[in-house]
Amino acid sequence: MQDKRFQIFISSTYEDLKEERRAVEEVVISTGDFPVQMEAFPAADEDQFEFIKSLIDQCDYYVLIIAGRYGTQADGGLSYTEKEYRYAVSKNVPVLVMLHNDRGSLSADKTEEASSGKKKLEKFISEASDGRLRKGWNTVDGLKLAVREALDHAKATKPRTGWVRGNSVASIEALEELNSLRKENAKFKEMVGELEIDIPFPDLPDHNEQIEIHLSPNVRRGGGYGTNEPFGNPATIWCSWIAAFPLFFSNLDWSTSDYNDEYFYHVIEDKSCMQIGSAFATQMAGSEMNETHRISKNTLERLISYYTEAGFMRQQGAGEPFTETAKKFARRQRIHSDGKSDEFFLIDGDLNINDPNEIPF
């Protein structure tokens, strides 16, 4: 799982969709991505449009919001919004179309008055919707949900370069080089037929091999005499990959989104880290440890990577995370489980929970 951030260009007519543009900007920021839009001076002349083209060049995805207005037209008769759209298409930037479902209900100041403008708007809608991701909306909240689902789908099915932290670049370059070598290897195999040049992969750990998992205490907010106090102490445990799976299976938090009748899942990382970490703590303590501990995102990614390679999980972009084999194994484990396990070992720290009413001095 790559910790990438993407630049999202937000395009629409301006005066009639100010609130909607702000809402979409909030959605983009909430996903950890970077919104790009020209709020201060929307495209209204060729000089500004040239600058906007340079911004689109750097963007990974393009969100087009369409309601009841076609927008200010340039000399050639196209609106600047449509010119932005066409430029994004020419640069192969994935376009996500957000179309108002009931444009007839919009107030007069938010619709085209002239019949020529209405015809151009309908033609623009037809062109923009042809073969592209399109979601309908009626309210600002509906628009925010539509944009979130469309971005999740686009990231899963139309991966882009994005941005990463500087200290990740070296490893990314290595992976890209390895991927390039794989492609060359495939070409050689096709050309030569009998030639086999295999690039070695690291072996997958045995299912009974131990994995070290660090549990960090969650923070209690506003409890007892103080605020932001940890529930307890950090701890480190050992368990096998296969012993960890039932707890991982039951506590991974994920949701399903659909786009044009195509379903895909995405993992809710923060909640998963807390639920899985608390489940491990409960397993060790022998009593319920609800929302007391968490695992790191790096540990979550290791677990997901292992179970994906082992055939227990499907890759992102599938309709659900777990395979039928994984579900069957988890059911069997629940049948045989008595709530205790000798496959988990506490190797450092303790899992005592602090009393929220204890005076911290």
Three-class secondary structure of residue 227 per DSSP: coil
Q: Could you tell me the residue ranges of all domains in the chain?
A: 7-157, 164-201, 210-349
Quick check: 193 pLDDT over 60?
no
Sign of the CA dihedral with 186 first, then 191, 197, and 198 last: positive
Segment 303-315 mean pLDDT: 92
2.40.37.10, 3.40.50.12280, 3.20.20.140, 3.40.50.2300: which CATH number matches 7-157? 3.40.50.2300
Question: Which residue is listed with tokens 């045995």?
Answer: 206
Ramachandran angles phi, psi of 238, nearest 5°: -120, 140
pLDDT band at 133 (very low <50, low <70, confident <90, very high): confident
> In the predicted model, is pLDDT for residue 172 greater than 60?
no
| Percentage of the residues of the chain whose pLDDT score is greater than 70 | 78
Which secondary-structure segment (H or E) carries 82? helix 80-90
Taking 90 as the threshold, does the pLDDT of residue 315 lie above it?
Answer: no
> pLDDT tens across 27-50, in order?
999 988 999 987 644 445 566 788
Asked whether residue 25 carries a pLDDT value surpassing 90, the answer given is yes
- Which of 142-151, 185-194, 311-320 is most confident? 142-151
Q: What is the dihedral of CA 263, 264, 268, 269, to 10 degrees?
A: 180
pLDDT value, residue 72: 87
Number of neighbours of residue 288 by Cβ within 10 angstroms: 9
> Over 90: is that where the pLDDT of 318 sits?
no
* Token pair for 70: 């076609």
Nearest Cα neighbor of 314 from 252, 251, 272 is 252
pLDDT category at 23 given cuts 50, 70, 90 is very high
Answer yes or no: is pLDDT of 356 > 70.
no
- Which strand (E) or helix (H) includes residue 230? strand 229-230
pLDDT over 90 at 230, yes or no: no
Average pLDDT on 53-57 reads 90
As given in the structure block, the two tokens for residue 43 are 């495209």
